[in-house]
């Protein structure tokens, strides 16, 4: 019975994780995209959550998408947040910064559903731990 339950959980996780889901929004167009972000809100999820494609806009196929959050600080007066699916990863860095004379851009990239929203890394970690404990003890 335990092995059957383990297989059901494994297949469920694999089926739901086959397509990466990221928030796609821009705080310039919708202030709900700004920080603090309420990614746990069902209204925000309905408005902004999308499945990332395995083909880029220029037609490149079989790419591995990731979630991305870009924070642009303009002249220390304005901050704009953009959350989306990314297709060209900057390797070796989960987060990195770009600077110009009049703005600073912080970019973070991640590989889990909804990870470009607030507190999602903590949620995914807790979910994985509880899933593993459930399989071990039940």
pLDDT in tens, 48-71: 999 999 988 888 999 999 999 999
β-strand partners of 70 = 82, 107
109-119 per-position pLDDT tens digit: 999 999 999 44
Q: Going by C-beta distance under 8 Å and a sequence separation of 6 or more, which residues neighbour residue 128?
A: none
CATH superfamily of 2-137: CD59 (2.10.60.10)
Q: Which helix (H) or strand (E) segment is 126 a member of?
A: helix 120-137
- pLDDT reported for residue 13: 44
Q: Is the pLDDT of residue 137 over 70?
A: no
Q: Is the pLDDT of residue 11 over 80?
A: no
Q: What are the sequence ranges of the domains in the chain?
A: 2-137
Name the band, by pLDDT with cuts 50, 70 and 90, for residue 38: very high
């Amino acid at each position: 019975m335990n092995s059957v339950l383990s297989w059901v959980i494994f297949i469920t996780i694999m089926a739901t994780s086959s397509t990466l889901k990221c928030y796609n929004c821009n705080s310039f167009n919708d202030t709900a995209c700004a920080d603090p972000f309420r990614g746990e809100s069902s209204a925000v999820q309905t408005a902004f959550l999308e499945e990332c494609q395995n083909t880029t806009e220029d037609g490149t196929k079989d790419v591995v998408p990731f979630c991305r959050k870009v924070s642009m600080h303009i002249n220390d007066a304005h901050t704009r947040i953009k959350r989306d699916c990314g297709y060209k990863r900057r390797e070796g860095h989960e987060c990195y910064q770009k600077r110009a004379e009049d703005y600073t851009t912080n970019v973070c990239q991640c590989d889990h559903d909804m990870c470009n929203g607030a507190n999602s890394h903590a949620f995914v970690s807790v979910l994985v731990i509880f899933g593993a404990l459930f399989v071990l003890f039940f």
